[in-house]
């Protein structure tokens, strides 16, 4: 940390300004997007970074995106000699990405007369299809080549003009090119909103003053984290939890962590030694996801108005075994690592911290995003469709308070697709949508309930699931009970019966068939 002559009021104003820019980028992306997944569910994130690629502001968007996005920006900076008017695109999980449907764009902000970028603005959005073996690109694949088109850091815009050849290459490899083009154009537009606003901020403060404000903002975030760590007991705290399986074999997958707290230095060490090796299925998490989970947990320790910057990670030393479930290497499949393993990483981090600060940590939440994808041809238009959604579950109970029912928790911060929007956009009928009563764990404070959602398809289609917490239920704390396990069912239209679906599978559907998802409840806290 270094000292800077910055007035606290001026710093607060600057912090608010750059945060609002990230939020405005998100609003622009949402309002201009084509797909329900972005415009309704808000499955996107935006950030502002300084000229060295350090995050100085994030929108209140998706935690799994935000903690890892700086690694994608760093990959773009390393690969591209940016010029004014350029925008990079990438989704490679092995270059700072999360999984292939999450496409990131990076725009360098050049100030007048400058030879190098003074800032970068970036956004990441989940696209409902990027090709691959399964419609929606979120199936139980066995290598990354089955998961869709993999884009290294390349320019999608050169000198202010969209590179049509690059765009056409991407669109040729997806099932829904019109929707993808609309969402990609929205991402480009959101980057340009950030560029204009950052230029206005630079004009107001001047480049030298902004550099001082940035350094102080990063230092301030660091000081807040270290202050929290200094209030905790010294020691090493361990925890483990399990993923049900990888969709290829029935073997459970261990996620283990050792958290070392050093209050005197205000440091935290996180070591995932003992976690299972990477697996054949798609639940492998790249290191960027594990770092993102650590960022999220540290951010949760801070006040709500604390700046979410790169300074939060300064007290952290992260150790991940290369080639493991938390630090996968190519060509491992990773679609589920972003949405499922990220949740389990958070679960074990919180379980370990509960041993150090038991009065601050909630029981386990649902622990799965219960990913549902349905693809086919819409008879109304004759064109392909891909529907993707994560289903909310129960939040874990907290010391002194019950958990919340039917809410997205931890590494996801998306909304649901409203029934009206869902039935308008896709050949579906929603037959049931409500709370799964009694699914929350018992205790002095009860875990939140999960949801039940039943969707009927009105045409032939294929459903794909990526879900967890079937075998290993959300844990309770301080004597609280476990939340109910998740479940899914295929309900046949011809009366041939119901099939309970495994957490990771893909099945054909006939018109009139329905899929029912039952999401887990949160764990309870305390003895009754």
Residue pLDDT, tens place only, 222-244: 999 999 999 999 999 999 999 99
The separation between CA 511 and the C-alpha centre of its own chain, rounded to angstroms, equals 32
pLDDT at 230: 97
Report which DSSP code applies to 116.
Answer: S
Asked if the model's pLDDT at residue 446 lies above 60, the reply is yes
Nearest to 34 by CA among 99, 127, 97, 111: 127
pLDDT band with cut points at 50, 70 and 90 for residue 2 = very low
pLDDT at 1: 44
Residue pLDDT, tens place only, 275-315: 999 999 999 999 999 999 999 999 999 998 899 999 999 99
Q: In angstroms, rounded to a whole number, what is the distance separating the alpha carbons of residues 216 and 8?
A: 10
Share of the chain above pLDDT 90, in %: 93
Q: Looking at 206-304, which runs of residues are DSSP E strands?
A: 235-243, 253-262, 267-271
Asked if the model's pLDDT at residue 492 lies above 50, the reply is yes
> Average pLDDT, whole number, for the chain?
95
Asked if the model's pLDDT at residue 116 lies above 50, the reply is yes
Please give the C-alpha separations between residue 110 and each of 115, 161, 228, in angstroms, as whole numbers. Answer: 8, 16, 37
Nearest to 134 by CA among 336, 392, 340, 338: 336
Q: What is the DSSP string of 257-277?
A: EEEEEETTTTEEEEE-TTPPB
Segment among 60-64, 114-118, 392-396, 522-526 with least mean pLDDT:
60-64
The predicted model gives 403-429 an average pLDDT of: 94
């Amino acid at each position: 940390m270094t000292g800077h002559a910055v007035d606290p009021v001026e710093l607060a104003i600057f912090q608010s300004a750059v945060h609002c820019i990230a939020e405005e980028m998100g609003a622009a992306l949402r309002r201009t997007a084509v797909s329900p997944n972005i415009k309704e569910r808000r499955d996107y994130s935006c950030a502002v970074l300084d000229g060295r690629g350090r995050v100085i502001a994030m929108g209140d968007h998706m935690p799994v995106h935000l903690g890892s996005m700086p690694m994608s920006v760093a990959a773009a900076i390393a690969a591209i000699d940016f010029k004014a008017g350029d925008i990079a695109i990438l989704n490679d999980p092995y270059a700072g990405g999360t999984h292939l449907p999450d496409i990131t764009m990076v725009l360098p902000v050049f100030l007048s007369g400058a030879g190098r970028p003074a800032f970068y603005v970036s956004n990441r959005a989940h696209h409902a299809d990027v090709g691959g073996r399964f419609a929606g690109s979120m199936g139980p694949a066995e290598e990354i080549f089955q998961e869709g088109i993999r884009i290294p850091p390349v320019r999608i815009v050169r000198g202010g003009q969209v590179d049509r050849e690059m765009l056409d290459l991407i669109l040729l490899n997806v099932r829904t090119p019109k929707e993808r083009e609309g969402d990609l154009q929205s991402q480009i537009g959101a980057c340009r909103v950030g560029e204009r606003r950052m230029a206005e901020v630079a004009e107001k403060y001047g480049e030298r003053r902004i550099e001082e404000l940035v350094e102080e903002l990063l230092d301030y975030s660091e000081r807040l984290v270290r202050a929290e760590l200094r209030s905790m007991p010294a020691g090493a705290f361990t925890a483990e939890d399990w993923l049900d399986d990888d969709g290829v074999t029935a073997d459970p997958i261990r996620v283990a962590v050792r958290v070392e707290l050093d209050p005197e230095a205000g440091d935290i060490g996180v070591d995932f030694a003992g976690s299972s090796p990477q697996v054949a299925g798609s639940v492998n998490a790249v290191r960027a996801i594990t770092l993102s989970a650590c960022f999220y947990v540290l951010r949760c320790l801070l006040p709500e108005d604390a700046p979410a910057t790169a300074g939060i990670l300064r007290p952290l030393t992260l150790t991940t075994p290369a080639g493991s479930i938390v630090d996968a290497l190519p060509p491992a499949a990773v679609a589920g690592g972003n949405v499922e393993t990220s949740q389990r990483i958070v679960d074990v981090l919180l379980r370990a911290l509960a041993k150090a600060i038991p009065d601050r940590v909630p029981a386990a939440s649902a622990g799965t995003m219960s990913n549902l994808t349905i693809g086919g041809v819409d008879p109304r238009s004759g064109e392909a469709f891909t529907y993707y959604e994560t289903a909310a579950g129960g939040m874990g109970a907290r010391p002194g308070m019950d958990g919340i029912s039917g809410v997205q928790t931890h590494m996801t911060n998306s909304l649901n697709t409203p029934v009206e929007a869902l039935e308008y956009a896709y050949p579906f009928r929603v037959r049931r949508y409500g709370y799964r009563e009694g699914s929350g764990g018992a205790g002095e404070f009860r875990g939140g309930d999960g949801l039940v959602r039943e969707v009927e398809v009105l045409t032939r289609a294929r459903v794909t699931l990526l879900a967890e917490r079937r075998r290993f239920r959300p844990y309770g704390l301080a004597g609280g009970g476990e939340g109910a396990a998740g479940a899914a069912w295929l309900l046949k239209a011809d009366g041939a019966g119901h099939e309970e679906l495994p957490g990771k599978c893909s099945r054909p559907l006939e018109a009139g068939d329905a899929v029912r998802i039952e999401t887990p409840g949160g764990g309870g806290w305390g003895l009754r």
